[in-house]
Amino acid sequence: MFFSKCKKCGGKKVSIITNIDIEIHGTMRKATNVPAKQCEKCGDIVVNDIILERLKKYAQDYPSRNLDYAKYEEEESAASQILF
Ligand SMILES: [Zn+2]
């Protein structure tokens, strides 16, 4: 079973919601409300690759906007409901 452990110090990682800077096509963007894991010991933050991919797609869809991950998720689920 997968156990989330800090690669740097071996500390326990907990789920958090955080703001990150992310480089997309050579441009730094700010992303807010991003789910991540943070080490309780050293404070190291890791964002899941799947979430990073979604943020990149989001940045392409909304080049001028601040990236609010929670809002994006909301819009995505609203859009899939409209399809029915
Ligand atoms: Zn750590």
pLDDT digits (tens, 9 = 90+) for 6-44: 999 999 999 999 999 999 888 899 999 999 999 999 999
Ligand 1 geometric centre to CA of 45 (Å): 9
Q: What is the pLDDT of residue 1?
A: 37
Rounded mean pLDDT, 37-62 = 93
Q: What is the pLDDT of residue 20?
A: 94
Ligand 1 geometric centre to CA of 66 (Å): 29
Q: How far apart are CA 5 and CA 39, in angstroms?
A: 8
Q: Please give the backbone phi and psi of residue 59, each rounded to the nearest 5 degrees, phi first.
A: -65, -35
Query: Which one has a higher pLDDT value, 40 or 77?
Result: 40
**pLDDT at residue 2 above 90?**
no
Q: What is the pLDDT of residue 64?
A: 75
Residue given tokens 């404070």 in the structure block: 43
Ligand 1 geometric centre to CA of 83 (Å): 43
Ligand 1 geometric centre to CA of 44 (Å): 6
Q: How far apart are CA 5 and CA 80, in angstroms?
A: 35
May I ask the CATH architecture of the domain 13-82? Roll (3.10)
